[in-house]
Structure 1
Amino acid sequence: MPLATTGDLIGRGAAERSAVAAFNVITLEHVEAVVAGAESVRRPVLLQVSENAVKYRYGRLLPLARAAVAAAEAAVVPVALHLDHVQSDGLLRQAPDAGFSSVMYDAARLPYAENLAATRAAADWAHSQGLWIEAELGEVSGKDGAPPLDAHAPGARTDPAEARAFVHDLLRELSGALDVPLVLHGSSGDPDGELAAAVAGGIAKVNVGTALNMAMTGAIREHLAPVPPPPAIP
């Protein structure tokens, strides 16, 4: 099947009042497992490659991206590629030629005004290339070894008024409403009922990362546990 685009998948999901699952992939095994899972339930899926995953792969985007494109084109369900949590402008500019139709540009580490300016510039460039762009207010906690924020701590949740102003400044034709798809970051560990409620409340894209890695490493441990160690070499 031809490589799908994020816009097409989000649009179809909105028409069905559903959301698109977006899985962060690091290895070819991740890619194959996510595509196989999507095929088993006959649902479209997004393959996400984060900037951290690119760093893990020695700073090279194309090897994993090319593998993901090949898997997507061989799939019997629509599959699109999304470049996730990009802070590097250099990496951002690799997205179109690598097969990505959308990018999450992460300037949330910056103060609000600087985040807005950086994201506006990134959005202008992305739109000129036909890319969808996703942006972030506040930061996803619990990353890079830092403990997660308490759910009621300042910054743990996006402020609705600030989100409205953020989108209004970026997309001037909008006035007073968030007429853009919303993304749920950090869904791992949330009960199915809460995820369904989030989608009913307007979430159009659900990101999954930790849960996928926990399932993979758990399966590897379970497989290897009964395997006896190799004999000692005299």
Structure 2
Amino acid sequence: MPLVTSKEMFKKAYEGGYAIGAFNVNNMEIIQGIVEAAKEERAPLILQVSAGARKYAKPVYLKKLVEAAAEDSGLPIVLHLDHGEDFEICKACIDDGFTSVMIDGSRLPFEENIALTKRVVEYAHERGVVVEGELGRLAGVEDNVKVNEREATFTDPDQAVEFVERTGVDSLAIAIGTSHGAYKFKGEPYLDFERLKKITEKLPGFPLVLHGASSVLPEYVEMCNKYGGDIPGAKGVPEEMLRKAATMGICKINIDTDLRLAVTAVLRKYLAENPAEFDPRKYLGEARNAVKKVVQHKIRNVLGCSGKI
């Protein structure tokens, strides 16, 4: 099956009160684990590539791996650029066959963000590609995204309406309390559902996106630490909060940290318990299985998109 855009996916998700999982990919095993889970669950899928992933694996390798996944699985798969920082990287991905791109102008003043986003939208729409914009800034660290708490800002509902109307974006990433990385909350987890409700009411039917939405599953944090890791105090977004958000206009939920933690935890455990093993297929196979397990759990218990294709 050829790669698709998220247009129809988001329409069905919004109407059905569920979200599509957008999973960050870096290598073959991660892609295979995600896709095997989605195939078994009959779930639509977004595979997204960050600037860090492009640098690590080279764009052509990642694109061919995702194309192979679509061909092998028969699933509707979106190939999405995550956190494109300028017009040039968005253009390169569009020209290279991505079906969706994110232009992240959230670091810019409002008018500059609009101008940059509109430029990407115009180029993308002429070529049948959809665009995600961002308004408001998430705290945390992940790949090239580094924002401290002081610089983080929640999305203003009125600005969100103006931004969507003036740019023509197909979806909008908003800031309501999530953050990038494994350390999302110092105290009690909190998402501003009242703000989300206001944005949804002002933009009825419009797909919203939640970044920094890993739950930082305790079992993998504990496994990492048990086998030599040093990840104290990691805390993610409670899954019940994410499920609630999916019923309130959030159509795409980004998940990266949970996959990283699962891979690292299983690798640490396997190598500690099998010190004589040096066949990468053995331990990377275990990592692939861990990714599959996490993604199936997310599809069933968080996203609510199992059986939606």
> So what's the TM-score if we normalise by structure 2?
0.66
Match of 1:186 among 196, 209, 212: 212
CA–CA distance in structure 1, aligned partners of residues 19 and 31 of structure 2? 20
Alignment of 1:42-191 (within 5 A): 42-57=42-57, 60-143=58-141, 144=144, 146=146, 149=149, 155-171=152-168, 177-179=202-204, 180-189=206-215, 190-191=237-238
Q: In the comparison of the two structures, how many residue pairs are matched? A: 222
Runs of 4+ in structure 1 over 4 Å off? 144-148
Change (3 A) 1:84 1:145: closer
Matched residue, 2:298? none
- 2:25–2:47 Cα contact (<8 Å) kept: yes
Q: Which runs of 5+ in 2 are unaligned?
A: 170-200, 216-236, 278-309
Classify the secondary structure of the residue corresponding to 2:121: helix
Q: Which stretch of structure 1 is more off in the superposition, 114-123 or 97-106?
A: 97-106
Equivalent of 2:258 in 208, 211, 218: 211
The question of whether the paired residues in 1 share the 8 Å contact of 2:3 and 2:99 is answered with no
Task: Give the structure 2 partner of residue 26 of structure 1.
Answer: 26
* 1:181–1:203 CA contact under 8 A, matched in 2: yes
1:198 equivalent in structure 2: 245
* Aligned twin of 2:38: 38
Provide the rounded CA distance (Å) in 2 between the counterparts of 1:228 and 1:208: 31
Structure 1: distance between partners of 2:238 and 2:5: 28
Contact in 2 for aligned 1:66/1:98 (Cα 8 Å): no
Is contact 2:90-2:102 (8 Å) kept? no
Q: Report what 2:188 is aligned to.
A: none
Deviation at 1:65, TM superposition (A): 0.9
1:64–1:167 CA distance, 2 compared to 1 (3 A): same
Q: Please list every run of 5 or more consecutive structure 1 residues that lacks an aligned counterpart in the other structure.
A: none
Residues 164, 41 of structure 1: CA spacing in aligned structure 2 closer, same or farther, 3 A cutoff?
Answer: same
Taking the aligned partners of 2:260 and 2:76, their CA distance within structure 1 comes to 23
What secondary structure is seen at the aligned counterpart in 1 of 2:139? coil
State the alpha-carbon separation in 2 of the partners of residues 140 and 206 from structure 1. 14
The answer (yes or no) to whether the contact 1:46–1:81 under 8 Å persists in 2 is yes
* Cross-structure match for 1:2: 2
Q: Which amino acid aligns with 1:185?
A: H
Q: What displacement does 1:222 show?
A: 1.4
Deviation (angstroms), 1:140 = 2.6
Asked if the contact 2:139/2:151 (under 8 Å) is kept, the reply is no
Counterpart of 1:177, as a letter, is K
Q: Give the fraction of aligned pairs with identical amino acids, expressed as a percent.
A: 37
1:71 partner letter: A
Residues 105, 117 of structure 2: 8 Å contact kept: yes
**What SS does structure 1 have at the residue aligned with 2:135?**
coil
In structure 2, distance between residues paired with 1:146 and 1:62: 26
Tell me, in whole angstroms, the C-alpha distance in 1 between the residues paired with 2:68 and 2:97.
10
User: Using the alignment, how far apart are the partners of 1:228 and 1:74 within structure 2?
Assistant: 34
Look up the equivalent residue of 1:117 and give its one-letter code: A
Greater relative contact order structure (CA < 8 Å, 6+ sep): 2
Counterpart code for 1:167: V
Q: What secondary structure does 2:259 align onto?
A: helix
CA contact (8 A) 1:6 1:81 kept: no
Change (3 A) 1:35 1:61: same
1:139 is paired with a residue of what secondary structure?
Answer: coil
State whether residues 72 and 80 of structure 1, in contact with CA within 8 Å, keep that contact through their aligned partners in structure 2: no
Q: CA deviation at 1:40?
A: 2.3
